[in-house]
Amino acid sequence: MYDTFTEIPLSERIQRLHDASPLLIGVFDEHDMLRYANPAFRRALGLRPDAFMTWQDLMRLNHKQKVGTRIDSPDFEAWLASARSRRGKLPYRGFEVDRTDGRWHFMTESLAPDGWMLCVAVDITDVRADERSLRADRDGAWKAARTDALTGVSNRMHILQLLDEQIAQLRSGGQPCGIALIDLDHFKSVNDRYGHYGGDLVLRDFAHVAASTLRRVDGFGRLGGEEFLAVLPGVDRAELAAVVNRLHEAVRRSTPLPDYPGFHYSFSAGAGMLEGGEDALTNIRRVDHALYEAKGSGRDRCVMLT
């Protein structure tokens, strides 16, 4: 398509506007890999013109080089897990971002049904600065209310809320959704042998491994104790089984206790497709039966509901 006055192709005109704009414009694919970023986006996040990476690696780079997004948390992995638990879960959201150079951005995320995401941010450093600390406190409280303090993933309330949203989607004719109820095996003996602190390290490791294995659109939260729930929109039974299988393999490779490099742990899972005709707790009860069966038949396995 051509601009009628100047004969410049519209796509090129849009490209030039992006290149010159102080707006940060970035596009991530369904695997959260950066696929497009305009120069302002690259400058703000300290990215070279030819660099493409996942959002997680981008945040790692920002944290290491102290550029771009300000990440003050002493536990970077917990910060990452917490940020991921909210990232790309809604069709649209906007939030304020604090940068290491003292500037502030209002970042928006627009999600397409296929998982691609458009991120556009505007500099708001000079706007309503007086109320910023108030807003930051409010946002901090909002996040804390949805985050599991030990592992950084969604807490019980937040993951059940994500589950409710998927049930509502299903009821309005939306995509299918898989769920997996996961329980670490023999966790009491992990605590007995390595102490409560050792047990906590294992819980954090599992949350980290799961967050790295699942997709951005997936929900993942700790229901309590050593029990977790994964919510996987858009998968069928075979894909659901493959995801849990990948998680099993990743956990088998993991060595969460630095003082005991030979220590490994496992989990059992019950998994199935979400039923739109049932509420969240009834759905969880169904996969809980499968989890019980997985425990009873030897652990370190997943039982899929038919």
Ligand X SMILES: Nc1nc2c(ncn2[C@@H]2O[C@H](COP(=O)(O)OP(=O)(O)OP(=O)(O)O)[C@@H](O)[C@H]2O)c(=O)[nH]1
Query: Going by C-beta distance under 8 Å and a sequence separation of 6 or more, which residues neighbour residue 151?
Result: 78, 81, 203, 204, 206, 207, 208, 222
Q: Does residue 150 bind ligand X (CB under 6 A)?
A: yes
Handedness of CA 218, 32, 248, 207 (dihedral sign): negative
Q: Does residue 29 bind ligand X (CB under 6 A)?
A: no
Give dist(CA 195, CA 199) in Å, integer: 6
> Which residue in 185, 25, 56, 40 sits closest to 119, CA to CA?
25
Could you tell me which stretch among 10-18, 131-139, 181-189, 281-289 binds ligand X (CB under 6 A)? 181-189
What is the four-CA torsion angle of 109, 75, 184, 211, rounded to 10 degrees?
20
Helices 187-213, 237-253: axis angle to 10 degrees equals 120
Which of 30, 109, 165, 226 does the annotation list as catalytic?
226
Amino acid at 187: F
Query: What Å distances lie between residue 136 and 45, 56, 96, CA to CA?
Result: 21, 23, 8
Residue with tokens 């920002």: 62
Residue 223: what are its φ and ψ, rounded to 5°? -75, -25
Out of 29, 57, 98, 200, which residue is the one contacting ligand X (CB under 6 A)?
200
Could you tell me which stretch among 96-104, 170-178, 187-195, 242-250 binds ligand X (CB under 6 A)? 187-195
Least distance in angstroms from the C-beta of 265 to ligand X: 10
215 vs 289, which CB is nearer to ligand X?
A: 289
Least distance in angstroms from the C-beta of 210 to ligand X: 16
Give dist(CA 24, CA 105) in Å, integer: 9
Could you tell me which stretch among 42-50, 73-81, 137-145, 191-199 binds ligand X (CB under 6 A)? 191-199
Query: Going by C-beta distance under 8 Å and a sequence separation of 6 or more, which residues neighbour residue 254?
Result: 205, 206, 209, 264, 265
Q: Does residue 188 bind ligand X (CB under 6 A)?
A: yes
Q: Are 45 and 62 in contact (CB under 8 A)?
A: yes
Give dist(CA 96, CA 104) in Å, integer: 7
Q: Does residue 296 bind ligand X (CB under 6 A)?
A: no
- Residues that bind ligand X (rule: CB under 6 A) add up to a total of 16
Least distance in angstroms from the C-beta of 257 to ligand X: 12
Out of 84, 208, 248, 295, which residue is the one contacting ligand X (CB under 6 A)?
295
Known catalytic residue: 30?
Answer: no
Could you tell me which stretch among 27-35, 83-91, 197-205, 275-283 binds ligand X (CB under 6 A)? 197-205
User: Binding mask 217-236 vs ligand X (x if CB under 6 A, - otherwise)?
Assistant: --------xx----------
Out of 199, 233, 234, 272, which residue is the one contacting ligand X (CB under 6 A)?
199
Q: Does residue 193 bind ligand X (CB under 6 A)?
A: no
Least distance in angstroms from the C-beta of 301 to ligand X: 12
Q: Does residue 204 bind ligand X (CB under 6 A)?
A: no
Q: Does residue 127 bind ligand X (CB under 6 A)?
A: no
218 vs 226, which CB is nearer to ligand X?
A: 226
Q: Are 193 and 140 in contact (CB under 8 A)?
A: no
Q: Does residue 183 bind ligand X (CB under 6 A)?
A: yes
Residues in the site for ligand X, rule: CB under 6 A? 150, 183-188, 191, 196, 199-200, 203, 225-226, 295, 299
Q: What residues are annotated to the active site?
A: 226
